[in-house]
Amino acid sequence: MRVLIVGSGGREHALAWKIAQSPEVDALYCAPGNAGMSTVAECVPVAADDLDGLLGFAKEHHVDLALIGPEVPLIAGIVDLFHDNGLRIFGPTKLAAELEGSKVFAKDLMADNAIPTAEYRTFTDPDAARAYIRSKGAPIVVKADGCAAGKGALVCPTVEAALDGVDRVMVQREFGDAGERLVVEECLVGQEASIIALTDTKTIYALETSQDHKAIFDGDHGPNTGGMGAYSPAPIVTPDLAAQVDETVLTATVHAMNRARRPYRGVLYAGLMLTPGGPKVLEFNCRFGDPETQPLMMRMKSDLVPVLMATIEGRLNEIEIEWDPRPAVCVVMASGGYPGAYEKGLLIEGMADAEALPDVAVFHAGTALADGRLVTNGGRVLGVTALGDTIADAKRNAYRAVEKIHFENAYYRRDIASKALPLERNRQDAAE
């Protein structure tokens, strides 16, 4: 089987690392890939948003399965394009991917189908949005309607910050066309969790739980990023809570999409806030999470390829995924200045020492090769991921590996998975 992975980040490297282990795969291509992905696959110079270029490559190289990492090509309709040309591809259609591509569509779908989410209003006029914010007060959340690389949700502690957020989104167009419409919603309080499931429109298969760390600074302070680290499992998601989410969120959403004649096939990612009033949906994503995929792929013992094929072919009910019971923690090493301006082309050292540690994998996100040397090439540079007997062990192992790696102005949060440790200890005490 010939497999094409589209994308160039840490998520795609983790997927390529996993798929390369499959005995069913004879050739693995990554477009455009990165320096790390080139160690397990052939990287090809086709951009992730070049749909015609990707189609041409897939046809020329007789690709049997395409797996799309980032949301942009999915929202643009790459699945429809491949289907129309008789090619097998994993992911939702353009109509279904609007669940991530438009916050307004997602919020309206949830409101119409009693799927729990924050109270909200949508706006096309910045003055109307400002008036609503003044009437509601703060804290409050301002969101660009469209795709903004995980950075379009502004959690505003004051009315002034929210008014500035409206200006950034709708007037300055900091997020481009994503800011044509605006969602203003109540600020939910609680811990976040990521529930990532597969669905073939009939069956829903939830993967192991995970938790992302969106904010740039320790303690979940500062602006949102694409994700500064993640761990799996998330002990805050108890079996009872998982069952509640399956019924009130995942199943309800798949049924709602079917009724809307937008049948949903692929990854259904629900970003949740676990509030005192129960879990509520912050956002939906139509692809594997980043960096949640990194610990999930470290823990998945089953071959991923048959799982993807069963999802595409409507046979997800036949699949049972085996997981390593050990937790995994991923710490993102970023360029200094991210999520704002940052420098590229900085030499990365110490990779071999980090990767030599047991139960450690270093997934590349923003890397490149320059004259045979590994250099930085993005905001999020590496996802240092480790297994351990407990979350505490996995965290220690991940940070031990992080300390081996060096590049100028490297930045990382030092509290990834810290919020899980008391919960893990409580469960261990209860078990004893």
DSSP string, 347-373: B-B-HHHHHTSTTEEEEESSEEEETTE
Question: Is the domain 2-91 a CATH 3.40.50.20 member?
Answer: yes
Q: How far is CA 184 from CA 33, 64, 128, 223, in A?
A: 36, 43, 11, 17
Query: Over the stretch 85-107, which tens digit does the pLDDT of each residue have?
Result: 999 999 999 999 999 999 999 99
Quote the pLDDT of residue 423: 85
CATH 3.30.470.20 domain residues, the chain: 191-318
pLDDT at 432: 61
CATH of domain 191-318: 3.30.470.20
Give, in words, the CATH class of 328-431: alpha beta
Please report the pLDDT score of residue 431 as a whole number. 66
pLDDT of residue 415: 98
Give me the pLDDT at residue 89, please.
98
- With CA atoms as reference, report the closest residue to 149 among 352, 22, 331, 285: 285
- Nearest residue to 96 via CA among 238, 248, 256, 208: 256
For the domain made up of 119-186, give the CATH fold: Dna Ligase; domain 1 (3.30.1490)
pLDDT in tens, 29-48: 999 999 999 999 999 999 99
Q: Give the three-state DSSP class for 173.
A: coil
Task: Report pLDDT for 151.
Answer: 74
pTM over 0.85: yes
Interval 383-394: pLDDT, tens: 999 999 999 999
**How many whole angstroms separate alpha carbon 69 and alpha carbon 95?**
18
Q: Which residues of the chain are in CATH 3.40.50.20 domains?
A: 2-91
Residues of the chain with CATH 3.30.1490.20: 119-186
Which regions in the chain score pLDDT beneath 70? 150, 430-432
